[in-house]
Amino acid sequence: MLQIDNSALLVIDVQGKLANLVHNSREVIDRCAKMIQAMQVMKIPVLHVEHNPVGLGKTTPKLAELLVNSDFFEKITFSSLGLLPFQKALEALGRKQILLCGIEAHICIYQTAMELLENKYDVNLLLDAISSQRLIDMEAATQKLMLAGAQPSTVEMAVYELLGTAKHPAFKDILHILKSNGSN
């Protein structure tokens, strides 16, 4: 089970034109936004990375405005762990349950998740907040990652798992975020 004091969210490469080209792009961006907001309410660390922002563009505005206070890293490697400052920041958190959202599932999500698994992290794939341009690429990546030990989840499933009870002090705020129509 996910635990608030042992979890962190990693938002990967939801940037530039590519963010609008992936399968189900509007829903993926909306689900990423809801997850970021929920993590902020629960005071769970959020890290985000951009792959080659000079070539691909910056994080999509809807997410960028939510991520202003999160740890940010630019990378050229497909795996986020290929970047030493990111590795150090992740290790400094001391959290072993990593929730992943972003794009593209079969490249940067896949390679980051595989390296996290190799480094003994508990990887949770937020399947409704992960995508690729081609559905087959996304499906192949998530299946291969689950076979390697990553846990499938969704934004709502992970958030309610973290809360554990409707009596949690953040429950009402989280409920408002999850039930909003995505225009936030």
Reported as a single tens digit per residue, the pLDDT across 29-63 is: 999 999 999 999 999 999 999 999 888 989 999 99
Q: What are phi and psi of 119, to 5 degrees?
A: -95, 20
pLDDT tens-digit series, residues 141-156 = 999 999 999 999 999 9
Prediction pTM value: 0.95
Q: What does the pLDDT read at residue 180?
A: 85
Q: Please give the domain boundaries of the chain with CATH numbers for all domains.
A: 4-179 (3.40.50.850)
β-strand partners of 71: 47
Distance between CA 184 and CA 32 in Å, rounded? 12
Alpha-carbon span 4 to 84, nearest angstrom: 25
Enclosing H/E stretch for 55: helix 53-56
Report which of 79, 83, 132 is spatially closest to residue 106, judged by C-alpha positions: 132
What is the distance between the alpha carbons of residues 92 and 103, in angstroms, rounded to a whole number?
25
